[in-house]
Amino acid sequence: MLQVKTPEEVWELIRAEFVPLPHRSEHVSLPESVGRVLAEDITAEEYVPDFDRSTVDGYALSAADSFGCSESVPAILPVTGQVLMGESADFTLPKGSCVYVPTGGAIPKGADCAVMLEYTEDYGDGSIGVMKPGAPGMNMIFRGDDVYPGKLILRAGRVLSAEDIGALAAVGRTEVPVSRRLRVGVISTGDELVPPEQKPGPGQVRDVNAPMLTAMLGAWGAEVKNYGIVADDEELLRGKMEQAAQECDAVLVSGGSSVGVKDAACRIIEHMGKLLLHGIAIKPGKPTILGRSGNKPLVGLPGHPVAACFVAKLFVLPLLGRLLGREDAQYPVTAELTESVSANHGRAQVNACRLEQTEKGLLAIPIRSKSGLITQLAGADGYFIIDRDCEGLPKGAKVNVFMN
Amino acid sequence: MLQVKTPEEVWELIRAEFVPLPHRSEHVSLPESVGRVLAEDITAEEYVPDFDRSTVDGYALSAADSFGCSESVPAILPVTGQVLMGESADFTLPKGSCVYVPTGGAIPKGADCAVMLEYTEDYGDGSIGVMKPGAPGMNMIFRGDDVYPGKLILRAGRVLSAEDIGALAAVGRTEVPVSRRLRVGVISTGDELVPPEQKPGPGQVRDVNAPMLTAMLGAWGAEVKNYGIVADDEELLRGKMEQAAQECDAVLVSGGSSVGVKDAACRIIEHMGKLLLHGIAIKPGKPTILGRSGNKPLVGLPGHPVAACFVAKLFVLPLLGRLLGREDAQYPVTAELTESVSANHGRAQVNACRLEQTEKGLLAIPIRSKSGLITQLAGADGYFIIDRDCEGLPKGAKVNVFMN
C-alpha cells in the first residue's frame, strides 16, 4: 500500500516520473497560435526595423547643425525634401540641411536625429528654424533596435499571448510551430450517475465531473475525448481504461467513491503500468490515484465534484503541462479574509472564495462547502490553500488566492 | 477640439456613453459554454440531491440508537439490509436497526445519520457493533442541501468557468443561454505597412497590430473580421470604416500615426456619429480616439504596437465587455520591482514586466521598451501602471501587476 503524499511530494513525483513528449509539433497560422504552447525557440533572421526610423513627425537633421539654438536664436536650415511613409530614404542629407520626416518614416544617411515639428518654425521660403537643439539618436529607432538576426524572441514552452503573436508578426513568422494538443480521455464511474441531460431517478445524481473536466481541460488547451459513464464493475472499467489509454495521451477516471472501486482502479493501473500514488494529504481530494502506462498518466480523481475540481487544477493541469514542457506559472492575488476559516485535519485544505474589490482593498469571502456541493462553487472567483500545519485562519488574515 | 482625458475619465465615459446590447442571446451546449458570457440568471428548478445521501461508506441508523456507545461498550444493532448505489431507499428503517450504505448512497427514512465503517465491527451474525456514537445529520447531505427550486445558481453577465459548467450540469441545464459573440472589425492604416507574411521593402514594416489585436480579441471571446491594410487616404479609410460599422458590432482602426491621418479619423467618426474622445493621458497610448455610431464603438488606436496593445487591454476590452454586460474583474498580483523605473510625464505610465518567483517573494522585472518595440513585449508576463502624479518607483517598490 502506497503512503499518502503531501502536495509538494506529488508535484515532485510528477517531475520525476513524467518527461516532455518528443516530436509533437505542428504548424498553425498566426491568429490560431494564441494560447498554444510554442514548440521551438524562435530566433529572428532579419533586422526589425530594417532602417533607421523617426518616432515623431518632424525634421531629420544632423544634431550638430542645431547645437546652441534656442527659441530666440533658432538654427536656420534649408529643407531639401521630404521622406514619404513606406518609402526608403536612399539619399544622403547634405550637411547643414534637413528633410521632413513623418512618424515611422526613414531617416536618411547624414542625419542622426529627428526634431519634433512643435520645436520648429516653417519660414515659407524653403527653410525652417529649429528652436531646440537635437542630440544624436534623439527621437529615432535604429535599424535592428527591435530585432537583429540571431536574437532570441520567444522560448519553447511559452503559452503564446497576444503580445507574442505581435512579435511573431513583426519578424514574419506567420506559420508557428506549436505542440500538438494533448488528447485526454475522460471516464466517469458510478452506478448512481446519469448524464446531465437526463432527470435523475430515485437514488441517482447527474454526472457533473465529465462536463466540468471537459470544460476545464478544453479551456486549458487539451482535446477531450469522453468515454461516458461506466458502472462500478472492474472488468468494464478495465476495458474502458485500456481503450482510452490506446487512443489518448492521458486518462482521467473520476468517481468510484466506494473503497472497492478505488481498489479496482489501483489493480487496473498496476496491470496497465505502474501505480505511483494512492492518496494526497489534501482536503478535499484525498482519494486520488496516479499511475502511468509508459509516459501516459492514468489518474483516478475523487468522485465528489468539488474534490475532483481542485485535484484537477492543482495536479492534473501541471502534469499535463509537464508532458508538453509548458511553462505557465500561476501567481496568486493577495486578499483579506472576511471571516475566519477553520482547518484541522493534518491535511492541506483548499477553500473556494469570491473576491470583492472595496476601498479598503481586495476581500476574499470564503465559500463554505460540504464536499460534493458543486453549486456552491458556481460563482467562485478562485481558491486559497491553508497549510497542513495551520489550524485555521482568523478574519482579516491575508490569503493568496489563485484565480479560477 | 476635445481635451485629453485621464484613464479614470475614459472608463467613466465608456459607462456613460455605451449600454449593454439587448436581445443577443443564443443557446450553446454545456461544454461549448466555458468562457462565454451567461445571458440570463440561472435558477434551479429541482432539488439536488433529490434524496438524503451518505457522505461515507458505513451504516445508516438513528443516532439515538448509538448514544452512549464506546469502543468498550459498543451499541449492537442488527443489519436489516443494504442500500445499493443508484437505487432508492424506499423503506423505513426499523427502530433499533441499521443498513449498510455506500458513499453517495440514499439514507432511508428512520435513519438520521451515517456512521463510518471504521467505527463499527461486523460480528458476522447479521449484527454490528457501533463504537462511536452518531449525531443527527452526521455524514449526511440532505435533500436540497446543494440546490432547491428557486435557488439562484449563476447571475447573467458571468464569464462561465469550469466550476460553473459543473453547477449547470448538476441542475440539468445542458443548453446554456449565452450572449452572442461580438463581431469586431479590425482595420490597419499606414502607407508603410505590409502584411506579416510579406518581406518589407525599403521604408516598410510589417503590420503587427492586426494579428496582435485579432489574437487578443479572439482569446477574449470576440469574433474578429479583418479588413486588411488601408493606405493613409481619408476617402479609402472612410469607405472601410463605414463597411466595417455595417458588418460589425465595433470597429478598431489602428495606425495613422501622422497628425493628418488622426485628424482624418476624427472627421470620419464625426461624420459617422459622435466623437467622444481624442487623447488619453497615458504613456504609451496618448493618440487614441473614441467615438460611436449609435451604440457601436469606433476606436482609433495608436499605430505603435506597444501602445495599441496597452490601449486595447485597458480600454477596448472593458468597452466591449460593457456591450455584453460582461462581469469579469481583473485583479493584480503584487510583486517587488527589481530596478527603479522613472516616470515624469504628467501621464499615467504603463510598463510591461516579467515575473519571477523567488524564495524572497515574487519579483517584477520591468521591461525597458521604446514605444514601438513590440518584440520587447514578447515574453512579458504582465504590466503595471505608474500613477500620473508619481515621479517614478524605486527598486524594491511593490507594484500591482496585471497578467497578460
By C-alpha distance, which of B87, B116, B104 is closest to B52? B104
Q: How confident is the model over A335-348, as pLDDT tens digits?
A: 999 999 999 778 99
pLDDT at residue B377 in the model: 84
> A31 to chain B: which residues are within 8 Å by CB?
211, 214-215, 218, 224
Region A172-183: mean pLDDT is 96
Percentage of chain A modeled with pLDDT above 90:
83
Asked if the model's pLDDT at residue A186 lies above 70, the reply is: yes
Is the peptide bond between B136 and the residue preceding it cis, with omega within 30 degrees of 0?
no
pLDDT at residue B1 in the model: 59
pLDDT at residue B344 in the model: 75
Q: How confident is the model over A223-255, as pLDDT tens digits?
A: 999 999 999 899 999 999 999 999 999 999 998
CB A37 within 8 A of CB A178: yes
Residues 239-298 of A with CB under 8 A from B: 257-259
pTM of the model: 0.93
Interface membership of B52 toward A (CB under 8 Å): no
pLDDT at residue A263 in the model: 85
Q: How far apart are CA B155 and CA B159, in angstroms?
A: 10
What pLDDT band is residue A1 in, cutting at 50, 70 and 90?
Answer: low
Other CB atoms within a 10 A radius of the CB of residue A124 amount to 7
Sign of CA dihedral B245, B251, B257, B259: positive
CB A377 within 8 A of CB A310: no
Complex-level ipTM beyond the 0.95 threshold:
no
Is the peptide bond between B287 and the residue preceding it cis, with omega within 30 degrees of 0?
no
Q: How far apart are CA A340 and CA B313, in angstroms?
A: 36
**DSSP H or E stretch at residue A236:** helix A234-247
- Are B169 and A196 within 8 A, CB to CB? yes
Q: Using alpha carbons only, how large is chain B's radius of gyration in Å?
A: 31
Three-state secondary structure along chain B?
CCCCECHHHHHHHHHHHCCCCCCCEEEEECHHHCCCEECCCEECCCCECCCCEECCCEEEECHHHHCCCCCCCCEEEEEEEECCCCCCCCCECCCCCEEEECCCCECCECCCEEEEHHHEEECCCCEEEECCCCCCCCCEECCCCCECCCCEEECCCEECCHHHHHHHHHCCCCEEEEECCCEEEEEEECCCEECCCCCCCCCCEECCHHHHHHHHHHHHCCEEEEEEEECCCHHHHHHHHHHHHHHCCEEEEEECCCHHHHHHHHHHHHHHCEEEEECECEECCCCCEEEEECCEEEEEECCCHHHHHHHHHHHHHHHHHHHHCCECCCCCEEEEECCCEECCCCCEEEEEEEEEEECCEEEEEECCCCCCCHHHCCCCCEEEEECCCCCEECCCCEEEEEEC
The grid coordinates of residue A39 equal 514548440
Query: Measured in whole angstroms, how far is the alpha carbon of residue A182 from the centre of its chain?
Result: 16
**Which residue type, as a one-letter code, is found at position B346?**
G
Q: How confident is the model over A268-279, as pLDDT tens digits?
A: 999 999 999 999
Asked if the model's pLDDT at residue A33 lies above 90, the reply is: yes
Interface membership of A133 toward B (CB under 8 Å): no
Phi/psi of residue B224, nearest 5 degrees: -105, 135
Asked if the model's pLDDT at residue A30 lies above 80, the reply is: yes
Interface membership of A342 toward B (CB under 8 Å): no
Query: Measured in whole angstroms, how far is the alpha carbon of residue A10 from the centre of its chain?
Result: 22
Count of positions (residues) in chain A? 404
- Ordered per-residue pLDDT tens for chain B, 404 residues: 578 999 999 999 999 999 999 878 999 999 899 999 999 999 999 998 999 999 889 999 999 999 999 999 999 999 999 999 888 998 999 999 999 999 889 999 999 999 999 999 999 999 999 999 999 999 999 999 889 999 999 999 999 999 999 999 999 999 999 999 999 999 999 999 999 999 999 899 999 999 999 999 999 999 999 999 999 899 999 999 999 999 999 999 998 656 677 789 999 999 999 999 999 999 999 999 999 999 999 999 999 899 999 999 999 999 999 999 999 888 999 999 999 999 977 899 999 999 999 998 999 999 986 656 778 788 899 999 999 999 899 999 999 999 98
pLDDT at residue A2 in the model: 73
> A198 to chain B: which residues are within 8 Å by CB?
172
pLDDT at residue B67 in the model: 96
Q: How far apart are CA A209 and CA A308, in angstroms?
A: 7
Interface membership of B358 toward A (CB under 8 Å): no
Tell me how close the Cα of A355 comes to any Cα of chain B, in angstroms: 9
> A375 to chain B: which residues are within 8 Å by CB?
44, 48, 146-147, 151, 153, 167, 170-171
Asked if the model's pLDDT at residue A371 lies above 60, the reply is: no
Q: How far apart are CA B277 and CA B288, in angstroms?
A: 8
CB B79 within 8 A of CB B59: yes
Phi/psi of residue B32, nearest 5 degrees: -75, -15
